[in-house]
Amino acid sequence: MKPLIQGFVSVLMLVAAHAASFEETQFIAKQGAWDVAILKYETLLKEEGPSASVYYNLGLCYQKKVDHGRAVLAYERALAMSPRAVDVRNNLAKLREQASLPAVSTLPDGLPEFTAWLSRGEWTLVFLLGLVLLVGGILVCSFTTQKKARVISIIALTMSTLMLASSTWVTALRRSEDRWAVMLSTDQSLLLSPFVSADKITPCPPGSLVRIESQKGDYVYAKLSSGETRGWLRRDLIEKIALP
């Protein structure tokens, strides 16, 4: 019992320390010390892992610094973790308008918009819940003869089938989101071939979303989200939205 209590107290202390550090960084950001706040937010992410609220506030700081590439990246990561966050979505839309960037969706073609209401992690939870309902329904159906219990088990089995099928389908299709990346550098263009001296095809401003299709050495072949234009980009100029 004592180790359990100690573990619970340790968790509470970690949560309190995170909250204090986060609030302290928010205060620093409100004073306009964007660089200091960015450093602290990045440290929080490295030490405590991904957080939608930290990414959102990091995006605000980069937006204030007019670093469109890193601001878009932070907002996109916040949305990936918390897709129903209206403030993140609104800020990202305003940023794209200010930077003259097209509004784009990273959802696979043909996938209904409602599937974006849940994050990929939440779809995994739907799958697990469906699995629990399936097992529960089978057990109830196998070990009871009561009519009401059997009806409930049939409903549970039907729901579990729908949950398992839909979550598997959505999760499989949304794996393609791992190919999306954000241009971070300024004055860059899609290139005709994977060489520094290659001819330029079209500008790729910071904050642009590109879909990586292949890779060759230090370059990736990517499609610009604003159309069907494809070309080569150096890997170190972009960063994937999906966390490694």
Both tokens assigned to 69? 């590439």
Residue appearing with tokens 């209401």? 117
pLDDT in tens, the chain (244 residues): 445 444 433 433 344 445 558 888 888 988 989 999 999 999 999 999 999 999 999 999 999 999 999 999 999 999 999 999 999 999 999 999 999 998 888 888 778 888 889 999 999 999 999 999 999 888 887 777 777 787 888 888 999 999 999 999 999 999 999 999 999 999 999 999 999 899 999 999 999 999 999 999 999 999 998 788 999 999 999 999 998 6
Helices and strands counted in the chain (H then E)? 7, 7
Q: What is the pTM of this model?
A: 0.86
Q: Distance (Å, rounded) from C-alpha 241 to C-alpha 174?
A: 13
